[in-house]
Amino acid sequence: LGLPDKRSELIDWNFRLEHLMQMCRDACMKLWEVRRQRIALATRHVLPIYVYTYELPAEGDQIYGRMNRAMRLGDEAEIEQWRPLIWQLDQALGLLPPYQGLLYRGITARFNADEYRQGQQVCWPAFSSASSEKSVAQEFVKADEGTLFFVTSDRSRCVSKFSRF
């Protein structure tokens, strides 16, 4: 992944080294699996998807969480630190075929139903996960505290072959 050359420009990750080392080992196994299945996506495109979707052991300390938070908040300094991974991930997703159909997205926050009307086109300011299985999305909704979105998509990408999950 094209990370900045200058040490001062590196991301202040604060991730535990052993967790990052395990992610690297797991990524090598994923690459082997992708090659074994003869999936035609270059390593430079598989890795950003894998890194983004990787679930580190420390809850709340996730790459995707920090990167998405920076994009949702519009924090330019944070976005600049994540820009290489954002760009690589965007390039990789652009090579995958679009998924068309109904998806479900569950989140822990509650939203006003008036803000999201049926048929309304929505563009979230960060990468967002969804599932074709309603039960998977419902796991993210905490009782009545969360929101379950029904998304009719024609631009989503299925990353399951390249994800940790």
Overall number of domains in the chain:
1
Does 54 have pLDDT greater than 70?
A: yes
Q: What angle do CA 123, 129, 131 make, to 5 degrees?
A: 115
- For residue 163, tell me if it sits in a domain: no
Q: CB-hemisphere CA count at 13 Å for 50?
A: 25
Structural domain includes residue 164: no
Q: For position 150, which CATH number holds? A: 3.90.176.10
What is the reported pLDDT for 144? 73
Q: Does residue 84 lie within any of the structural domains?
A: yes
Output the pLDDT for position 9: 45
Report CA 15 to chain centroid distance, whole Å: 17
Query: For 30-46, how does the pLDDT look when each residue is reduced to its tens digit (9 = 90+)?
Result: 999 999 999 989 999 99
- Residue 53: pLDDT above 50? yes
% of the chain beyond a pLDDT of 90: 59
Q: Which residues touch 145 (CB under 8 Å, ≥6 apart)?
A: 108, 109, 110
Alpha carbon distance 127, 23 (integer Å):
20
- pLDDT for the residue 27: 93
Separation of alpha carbons 71 and 79, rounded Å: 6
Is 63 within 8 Å of 17 (Cβ atoms)? no
- Is 128 part of a structural domain of the chain? yes
State the chain's mean pLDDT as an integer: 86
- The answer to whether residue 162 is domain-embedded is no
This prediction's pTM: 0.81
Q: Taking residues 56-67, what's their average pLDDT?
A: 83
Residue 2 included in any domain = no
Q: Is the dihedral of CA 57, 58, 63, 67 positive or negative?
A: positive
**Domain extent at residue 133:** 7-157
Least trusted range by pLDDT, from 20-34, 48-62, 96-110, 124-138:
48-62
Residue 24 forms part of a structural domain:
yes
* pLDDT of amino acid 13: 56
> What are the pLDDT digits (tens) for 96-116?
999 999 999 999 888 887 888
